[in-house]
Structure 1
Amino acid sequence: MHRLTAAFVALLPIFAAGAAPAQDRAGDFDSYLLALSWIPAYCATDGDERDDPRCQDGRRVGWAVHGLWPQHDDGTWPEYCHTNQRSPSRQETAAQAGLFGTSGSAWHQWNKHGRCTGLSAANYYRLVQAALDRIALSEVFEGIDRELRVDPDVVEAAFIEANPALDRDMMVTSCPGGDLVELRVCLTRDLEPEVCAPALTRRECRRDAATLLPLR
């Protein structure tokens, strides 16, 4: 009886692995979402608490990468996936602080999203940089010294002007609480801009005007 119980216990990890939701399996996804944060809004909600250097007065940081997130066409997304890839070391995440703001943010993006790509941490970080390099961050709002009320469509138009390959169907703005927080670009797995899935566009900012916080 004891031998049978021990054998059953030994099989539990196998059952648990087999029960993992399909959406949380590394490498199983349809596309990417490149999330670009308006740093003044990020600082007001999270960045100050995290001592992100981009939030310091005088840095004048506008748009910057938040992350590159695997997506499913049905509007769901995988996160915290099981992967055979090892986690990045402290040295490796520290090397990405310039990209993500802090080493802690670099770790978080890998842990929540990077694992789901099926890539190594190093290759995931390279992929984020490659995705960012393909998007010209609009300079239209880079001189803002006071709080503005802007139509989210104006923000998208500014990105289209800087990136002719984009159109409004390929972007989604985010304005929780009324502040313009992010612009997210829909990309193929090859990092080419694509039309966003309908389930994603339903989460777009629907306000006629959102608050654009000034640069620090």
Structure 2
Amino acid sequence: MVCLRRPLRVASITMASLRTWRRLLPALFVAAVLTGCNDANTEKAPVATENAKATAAVPIGSGFDFYVLSLSWSPTWCGDNDPDGKSSQCEIGGNRGLIVHGLWPQNEKGYPDFCPTRQSDRVPSSLGRQYLDLIPSMGLIGHQWRKHGTCSGLSQEDYFAVTRAAWNRLRLPAELSPSRQQTDLAVAGIEDAFTVKNPGMTKESVAVTCEGNRLEEIRICFDKSLNFRSCPAVDRQSCRKHSVSLPPAP
């Protein structure tokens, strides 16, 4: 319906103007339907959700089903491999807790590794050093690319960019902050803490692994767009102990 601001003056309508109005009425009707009679009828574009913002413009990999972001409890690794703190990862006062072990392309059954690629096996220092805050060793960065990144269908730049995006997608529970004292946590409690902190994550999306009685890794499953997803095969690898110890940070 055409919205008129004021009534027509009938006395002023001539036969010529009437014919003109008859020609204009269909166009005016279409315009009124498309635009509405006032601004209040205009629909607003939907606001992007937090999840959509977090996963916007992520390069999409190929040749696998989903990702596993593996987070290592650094003090456990350091206690076994570098108790004197000679490496940058384990240096005294480094206060590292969870670090990125790697982003692993995964299939519903099994996973690919060391895939043939035209990309270089070597990760340039100029690229790798951008990610030392996540993966605190150029040696580990190179190994993750050769074993897992080559199976992502992505370039080196995109693979590590997706690794950072997956890390940024997570919110770490306070219970998993590095501490100067050893703490003990229930395995189920760790999973619950992650699901509470990360909307959309379920207990089937996260697996806690252990080295003896100590926390080893936390593995989070994402689809290729970095939405949380369930991963039964990964979840079955969870630690069977009731609780695990978190060694203190060096």
TM score, norm. by length of structure 2 = 0.70
Counterpart secondary structure, 2:242:
coil
- 1:115 pairs with one of 137, 150, 162: 150
Q: Who is 2:111 aligned against?
A: 77
Q: Who is 2:184 aligned against?
A: 149
* Per-residue deviation, 1:27: 3.5
Contact 1:80 1:111 in 2 (8 A): yes
Matches within 5 A, 1:4-153: 27-46=62-81, 51-74=86-109, 76-87=110-121, 88-142=123-177, 144-153=179-188
Count of residues in Structure 1 that have an aligned counterpart in Structure 2: 189
CA 1:72 to 1:163, structure 2 compared with 1: closer, same or farther past 3 Å?
same
CA 1:112 to 1:50, structure 2 compared with 1: closer, same or farther past 3 Å?
farther
CA 1:126 to 1:63, structure 2 compared with 1: closer, same or farther past 3 Å?
same
CA distance in 2, matches of 1:165, 1:49: 40
CA distance in 2, matches of 1:52, 1:177: 24
More deviation in 108-117 or 141-150? 141-150
Q: Who is 1:190 aligned against?
A: 225
Q: Please, which runs of 5 or more residues in structure 2 have no aligned partner?
A: 1-60
Counterpart secondary structure, 2:78:
helix
Letter in 1 for 2:108: D
Query: Which is greater in Rg?
Result: 2
* Per-residue deviation, 1:97: 2.2
Letter in 2 for 1:173: V
Contact 2:223 2:229 in 1 (8 A): yes
Q: CA RMSD in A?
A: 2.0
Letter in 2 for 1:211: S
CA distance in 2, matches of 1:44, 1:176: 11
1:26-79 Cα shifts (integer Å, max 9, x gaps): 9421000011111111222345589442322222221221110000101x1111
Q: What is the aligned-residue identity percentage?
A: 32
Contact 2:71 2:99 in 1 (8 A): yes
Q: Please, which runs of 5 or more residues in structure 1 have no aligned partner?
A: 1-25
1:156-181 Cα shifts (integer Å, max 9, x gaps): 12222321221211100100222111
More deviation in 113-122 or 150-159? 150-159
TM score, norm. by length of structure 1 = 0.80
CA distance in 2, matches of 1:96, 1:151: 31
* Per-residue deviation, 1:110: 0.5
CA distance in 1, matches of 2:227, 2:192: 19
Contact 1:97 1:103 in 2 (8 A): yes
